[in-house]
Structure 1
Amino acid sequence: MDKVVIAARAVADIADGASIAVGGFGLCGIPSTLIAALLTQGATDLRVVSNNCGVDGWGLGLLLEAGRISRMTSSYVGENKEFARQYLSGELEVELTPQGTLAERLRAGGAGIPAFYTATGVGTQVAEGGLPWRYGPDGAVRVASPAKEVRSFGGREYILEQAITTDFALVRAAVADRHGNAVFNGSAMNFNPLAAMAGRICVLEAERIVEPGQIAAASVQLPGVHVHRVVAATVTEKRIERRTVRPRPAAAPAMTAGTAGTAEPNAATTTDGN
């Protein structure tokens, strides 16, 4: 079954208030083409599950700045000033979840497992409740996380975490065939396959689309049975959250006959980290 469609059609039925699992790790492997299409489409009051919310002006940060996200379930939010502003002013509800727990909640949802026990968070507000989910304009906590069930297994305490399923999943692969079988690259593997499995309808954008059979069966990292629509990635720009540079060491003075010791060293330059 050929699942390739254009991006606008792929996101056309995402309604206001929809829940969406979005792949990516930092800015690696984010579905930029589908995010841009959803921004144009206009759906609002979105409830998004993703490791993070992009950065100011890029990734999910674009939807956030447009006021289209009402709730985020994330494990990391440290690179987005607008995210912090909306959260602290009460405009955005945020459920912070330990990263490994978030990954397993998505995987469990895709596998049909309703809940699971984990030791992560025992003895903290993750288990005891009280983490601020939503602030009021006055800075008071309006919605706080509930307490979770704690049980002992083998003399160790564990907390019950519920699986996550969403209405849609938006993910990005390096290569996919027209049936939706996909291969990811590097850190893009961290959340993309999990998000894809958790969505009732999965929309996958691929940097390269090949014919069925061109991906060896043993190389498939996400089977096409989980994917409902395939889109060619047209947003090709890739960014990093933070770039650190340092001056290059000054080059040794150039020496020429008769002018030993008089040449000026080359000016120091900086590297962009590539």
Structure 2
Amino acid sequence: MKILFLIGNDPPVGAVSEWSEIKNYKDKGYLSPGKDYFRIFKALEHNSEFEKEILLARKNAGLPEKGISWDDYYYNYYLESLRVYSEQDKSKYKDFFIKVEKEVNRIKKNITLDTFITDQLDNLIIGGFVFPHDIPISYGAYPEEETISGKDYNGVFIHISHEITLNELKTYIDNNWRNIFRLIKYLPPKSKYYISKRDLRIVELKDKENMEWDEIIKTIIKEFVIDDFDGKLNKISVKRAYGRAKKRLNSIANDPHKDK
């Protein structure tokens, strides 16, 4: 399932699917989704349970399996308030949106979704597109680079991009705790000596190959096939990973008589 991100508002000026395309519009001053918003909806493309629900919704609503194209929706539905329709067409469009709304409610009962996703469910059912919005709080997980199943993570985070109150944060966590806890359950068991394959490689590149930090970053991105579109892998994060790994390595080989 491919999700399109609409650019601009009243009316949108385009529909794109990749962050590089969004950034081009953003640099030109168009209203466009932020990184957190992009990341959340992009992840849905790989969620088989969600895709199954969307496909069923389209079938129940009488829509094509791939939904309606943005151009088709824009000219035939989005601009309906600006057109003059016959009574028959009005009835047709009213019935269309009633069916979509029915499927939105069905999906909301079947699976637990972030409120930012449920607000866009009708658009996702119709054609797999979402309108740009800003997300002050979001959550997610860092995938474990050694995973085979694709369901293992090495960290769960809550990201705050704008000023919020303590009550807003508590409310957000309460409303989304079920999904956050699902991610937490996929975290590895706590281990004093656990060092990821990536962090071990960072130590090796620094200590044995005497690489500079910039070289290490490029090597790690290449070897572990990391899509670092938001620049999370930088000198600060790599130095921290190096320090963390060295500390654990030293603790493993620590001489018990050294401090006596």
Do both share a fold (TM > 0.5)? no
Q: Which structure would you say has the larger RCO, counting Cα contacts within 8 Å and 6 or more residues apart?
A: 1
Compare the two structures and name the one with the higher helix fraction.
Answer: 2
Compare the two structures and name the one with the higher strand fraction.
Answer: 1
TM-score of the superposition, structure 1-length normalised?
Answer: 0.19
